[in-house]
Chain A
Amino acid sequence: MKILVPTKRVPDPATNIQVLPDGSGIATENIKWVINPFDEIAIEEALRVKERLGSGEVVLAAIGQQSWQEQLRTGLAMGADRAILVLSESALDSLGIASVLAKIAADEQPDLVIMGKQAIDDDSNQVGQMLAEMLGWPQATFASKVEIKERRCTVVREVDGGLETLAFTLPGVITTDLRLNEPRYASLPGIMKARKKELKEVPAESLGVDLTPLLKVKELRAPSKRQAGRKVASAAELVSVLHSEAKLI
C-alpha cells in the first residue's frame, strides 16, 4: 500500500500573528515554522495504516520553497519513507496546489491520499476535496476514524449533528480531523535515519501544470480588537447585570 501525504509548512499554532502595516502579509521574523497540525495527524495515520498492514510506503509531498525541507525532514523522522518537494516561488491557490498534487498522484499511483482537512494559516479547507475531484476518486473529509480491510476503506466523519460513516474501495482521499489520532514525536534514531532518506526537489514549472492563480489575496488587515469589559464580584452580581443591564436573561 502506497500512501501519499501532502503537507504544508505553517506558523506554529501558538504564534501571536501580526499583520504587517502595509497589508502585504504577516510579520515572519520570530515565527517558528511547523508542519500544519492536521497534516501531522495525516502522517501519523498513514504510518499507522502501514504498520498495521506490515508493509507499504508513505510518501510526503509539499509545494513551497527550499526552506520547507526542514518540515519534510521532520515528517521523514516521524517515519515516512521519502518526500517530494515541488519548488515554487510564487503563491499558488488551492486549485493550483490540487493540480500539482494530482500530477504527483498520476506519477506515483498511490492507493490512498491522507491529508489535513485545513491549513491553519489560510483556513481554506479545500485542497483534499479538489484533489479527489481531479482524480475522480471518492473523498472522506473530516475523518475521526479510518479502517482499511483489503481494499475497502471505512471512515467515520465529524459532521453537523453527529458522526457519519462512509465506505469506499481504494483509491480515495481522506482528510483528517483533530480526533483521528495523536501524532508521535520524531525519535532520535528517527531523526538520524531521516537524514539519509530521499527528498526529491522538483521545479513546479517542470510539471506541465497550469499554475496561474484564480484566487489572489490583495490585502491582509488586522481585525478590530474586542475590548475587555469588567469583572463582577459574584455569581449573583453576574446574573443581575445580565438581567438588568444587558437585558439578556
Chain B
Amino acid sequence: MSEVLVFAEHKNGHLPKTTLVALGAGLELAAKYGTKCVAVVAGDGIEEVATRVAGYGVAAVVMLEHPALKNYVADAHAQALAALVKELGVQFVLASATAVGKDLMPRLAARLGAPMASEVVAFGDEGTLIRPTYAGNALATVELSGPVKVITVRSTAFEVAAPSENAAPVRKVDAAIDPSALKTELVSFEETKSERPQLTEARIVVSGGRGLKSGENFKTVLEPLVDAMGAAMGASRAAVDAGFVPNDLQVGQTGKVVAPELYVAVGISGAIQHLAGMKDSKVIVAINKDEEAPIFSVADFGLVADLFKAVPEMVEEVKKLKQS
C-alpha cells in the first residue's frame, strides 16, 4: 500500500482552516501519485470531529483515541502516530506547518527514521518538493528518499479540501502508547482572546509595526481600522518584542505566514524577515512616513504619510463607504 496520511489537527473539536488546507494538500499529493488519502484525528472523545473530517473527500478516517492524547503533547502524539504509520504502511505523512505541526512532525520523522521537508509550497516533478529557504529568498527543490516521507505544508500555498457528498468510513483505533515514555506535563494554556478573525484565515489583515510606538496606540489608532475593515490584526516582530501585542500576531519568517486578499502594513519598514510572512498576499498596501521604506517595493498601493493622521482618516472613509 502506498497512501498519504494527513494529520488532521483540531482545537477542541473545531477544525481550523489550516487543517482543511492540509487535507487539500494531502488529496492533491495522493492524486499525483494515484493513491489514497487517509486522515487521522487524534484525541480522546473525538467522534464528532472525526465524522466531520470524513466529509472532506478523504478515502477513510482513523480515529486515534487514548486518554493521553486528550491535549496535544509531542511525545504522546509522536508515539501513537508512529505506530499507526507502521500499521498502515503509508508512504507520506503530511500536516500543516502550524505550531503543533512544527512541533510534532520532526519528532515523528525521527521516530520513523524518515526524512522530512518543512513548509512545502508545491509538489514538483519526479517526487520532488518545493520549499522556501533563506526567509523566502530562495526556493529549494528537495528530494526525500526512504519508504516513509514526512511533510509539513504552508497553509497559504494549497487550496482547502472541498466538502464531499459522501462521508468516508471512520475507524476507531486504540492508540499504542507506553505511558512510561511520556515525560511532558501540560501545565496550562493562556489563550489570547479575540473576537476578530484568525490571522491565518482572514480575507483582510491589518498589521502594525514599531511605528505605532505603543500598545495603547495599537488599541486607539490601529484597532479601529482593523475592525472597520473586518480584518484580522497582525504585527511585526518589533511590535511583539516591545510588548505592544501578543506573540501569536507576529507575521514573518519566524512567525505566521499569511496570504490574504488584502494586507495592510502600517508603520512597518518591510524587513526581509517580515516580507517572508506576507509577500504572497494578493494586494499589499503600505502606510509609512519614510518613502524609502523597503515595504513600498512590494506594495501595490503605497501611502507616504504619518500614520497617526492617515489611519484615522481611513477609518472615517471606510465607515462612510459602509454607510452608503
Report the minimum CB–CB distance from A217 to chain B (whole Å). Answer: 5
**B-side contacts of A38, CB under 8 Å:** 254
B134 A241 Cβ-Cβ under 8 A: no
A235 B310 Cβ-Cβ under 8 A: yes
A137 B237 Cβ-Cβ under 8 A: no
A123 B133 Cβ-Cβ under 8 A: yes
Report the minimum CB–CB distance from A230 to chain B (whole Å). Answer: 7
Q: How far is the CA of A94 from the CA of B240 in the complex (A)?
A: 30
Q: How far is the CA of A229 from the CA of B296 in the complex (A)?
A: 8
Listed stretches B21-29, B141-149, B212-220; interface member = B141-149
A235 B109 Cβ-Cβ under 8 A: no
**B-side contacts of A166, CB under 8 Å:** 73, 184-187
A144 B247 Cβ-Cβ under 8 A: yes
- Per CB-CB distance, the 7 closest pairs between chain A and chain B, nearest first, are A214-B115, A229-B300, A235-B313, A129-B106, A130-B110, A239-B317, A126-B106
B110 A98 Cβ-Cβ under 8 A: yes
Contact of A130 with B115 at beta-carbon distance under 8 Å, contacts A179-B240, A235-B314 already known: no
B 95-116 binary contact with A (CB < 8 Å = 1; else 0): 0001110111111111101111
- A231 at interface, CB cutoff 8 A: yes
22 pairs, CB–CB < 8 Å, chain A vs chain B: A121-B133, A122-B134, A123-B133, A129-B104, A132-B74, A133-B107, A136-B181, A138-B75, A141-B74, A163-B247, A164-B188, A166-B73, A166-B186, A216-B145, A217-B140, A218-B142, A220-B138, A220-B140, A231-B296, A235-B305, A242-B283, A248-B261
Contact among B103, B105, B261, B310 with A142 in the assembled complex (CB-CB below 8 Å): B103
Contact of A126 with B304 at beta-carbon distance under 8 Å, contacts A161-B248, A249-B321 already known: no
**A-side contacts of B188, CB under 8 Å:** 164-165
**B-side contacts of A123, CB under 8 Å:** 118-119, 132-135, 253
Contact of A221 with B262 at beta-carbon distance under 8 Å, contacts A122-B133, A132-B107 already known: no
Q: How far is the CA of A124 from the CA of B296 in the complex (A)?
A: 29
Q: How far is the CA of A232 from the CA of B310 in the complex (A)?
A: 12
- A215 at interface, CB cutoff 8 A: yes
Listed stretches A47-55, A105-113, A152-160, A189-197; interface member = A152-160
- B164 at interface, CB cutoff 8 A: no
Q: How many residues of chain A are within 8 Å of chain B by beta carbon? A: 82
A-side residues, CB < 8 A to B, are 11, 13, 16-17, 19, 26, 38, 93-95, 98, 117-118, 120-134, 136-142, 144, 154, 158-169, 172, 177-179, 213-223, 226, 228-232, 234-236, 238-243, 246, 248-249
B-side residues, CB < 8 A to A, are 11, 73-75, 78, 98-100, 102-111, 113-119, 128, 132-146, 181, 183-192, 204, 229, 237, 240-241, 246-248, 253-254, 261-262, 272-273, 279, 283-285, 287, 291, 296-305, 309-311, 313-314, 317-318, 321
Contact among A13, A142, A238, A242 with B99 in the assembled complex (CB-CB below 8 Å): A142
Q: How far is the CA of A242 from the CA of B113 in the complex (A)?
A: 50
A162 B302 Cβ-Cβ under 8 A: no
B99 A160 Cβ-Cβ under 8 A: yes
B118 A129 Cβ-Cβ under 8 A: no
B116 A215 Cβ-Cβ under 8 A: yes
- Minimum CB distance partner of A222 in chain B: B138
Q: How far is the CA of A222 from the CA of B139 in the complex (A)?
A: 6
Q: How far is the CA of A131 from the CA of B283 in the complex (A)?
A: 41
**B-side contacts of A232, CB under 8 Å:** 301-303
**A-side contacts of B113, CB under 8 Å:** 95
**B-side contacts of A159, CB under 8 Å:** 99-100, 103, 248
Q: How far is the CA of A178 from the CA of B145 in the complex (A)?
A: 33
A138 B184 Cβ-Cβ under 8 A: yes
A231 B302 Cβ-Cβ under 8 A: yes
